[in-house]
Amino acid sequence: MSDASSPTPPAGGVDAPLVQTPRRVGRFGRGKEKSAVFRGVAAVGAPLFDRLARIEVRGAEKLPPEGAFVLAPNHYTNIDPVVVARLMWTLGRVPRFLAKASLFRVPVFGSLMRAMGHVPVERGGRTHDSDPLQAGRALATSGGGVIIYPEGTLTRDPDLWPMKGKSGAVRLALQAGVPLIPMAHWGSQHVMGRYSAKISLFPRRRIVAAIGDPVDLSPWRGRHLDQAAYTEATALVMQRITELLAGLRDEEAPAEQWDPHTKHQKETGRFEQP
């Protein structure tokens, strides 16, 4: 399918509301970041994904067309990274993730992940050799975009709302001095359910996404931060993501975000409702 015309940027700068006319994500995008490896993977993967679903995005102009940034999406199904990567690719940016190290140990797939510049993160938040944020900073300072799921894993919220986040995305954005862009999407669960490995092949699904204004991290920039400050900034990021998702779902979000600790849930493994 082909791209629809780009939405008209809203008046009023970064504080203006999301574009309400959705932009449909088409087959292929263009961008100087796109290496031969990425183009090869996209040439095979993009048409296959497009048979499963179409993506419509609001606020496409809010994804920086060049330069470094951290993208912080919501996370509720195992196919989410494919959705985010498909969207970013078509909008002209290369999707690079801080991703679970176990994925890099999968034959062939792991080699592709490394060749594309994704960063493996071991349990406990470290890479095999170093701090994952150091690798993320290297990507950011070179002008690339880095995708970090601030929830750290699939949300434990039974209704798939974002849960309490971790500070990795905020730390990287502050340390690298780059914008942190919130994002939400909805509809992936109809392609692949939470924790499911089964893909719905028919009918073709619709996924809607929204990219928000950069989160204002100015209160935390340029000063020494403790864990309480990182927690405060992370809560703001999760609030922005939740607001975007509420708009996509046309529902009111819960008054409080789901906290696995207070629900006596493990942070790893499959979702278990208490």
Residue range 240-263, pLDDT digits in tens: 999 999 999 999 999 999 999 898
Mean pLDDT on 216-233: 92
Cβ partners under 8 Å of residue 191, min gap 6: 52, 53, 77, 79, 83, 199, 200, 205, 207
Identify the pLDDT of residue 113: 75
CA distance 96 to 219: 27
Amino acid at 152: G
The helix (H) or strand (E) run that includes residue 205 is strand 205-211
Helices (H), the chain: 36-52, 80-90, 109-115, 132-141, 168-176, 227-249
In this prediction, residue 27 has a pLDDT band, given cuts at 50, 70 and 90, of very low
CA distance 257 to 235: 9
Residue 139 has pLDDT above 80, yes or no: no
More confident residue, 74 or 110: 74
Residue range 46-91, pLDDT digits in tens: 999 999 999 999 999 999 998 889 999 999 999 999 999 999 999 9
Mean pLDDT on 3-12: 35
CA distance 206 to 178: 32
Could you count the other beta carbons within 10 Å of the beta carbon of residue 6? 12
Could you count the other beta carbons within 10 Å of the beta carbon of residue 159? 11
Residue 176 has pLDDT above 80, yes or no: yes
CA distance 159 to 177: 34
CA distance 250 to 268: 30
Identify the pLDDT of residue 22: 45
Both tokens of residue 23? 């932009």
Residue 210 has pLDDT above 70, yes or no: yes
Mean pLDDT on 157-179: 92
Amino acid at 83: V
Q: Is 20 left (phi over 0), alpha (psi -120 to 50) or beta?
A: alpha
Could you count the other beta carbons within 10 Å of the beta carbon of residue 156? 21
Residue 122 has pLDDT above 80, yes or no: no
Prediction pTM value: 0.81
In this prediction, residue 270 has a pLDDT band, given cuts at 50, 70 and 90, of confident
For residue 219, give Cα distances in angstroms to 33, 222, 229: 32, 9, 10
Could you count the other beta carbons within 10 Å of the beta carbon of residue 31? 15
Residue 160 has pLDDT above 90, yes or no: yes
Beta bridge partners of 184: 210
More confident residue, 46 or 112: 46
CB 186 within 8 A of CB 207: yes
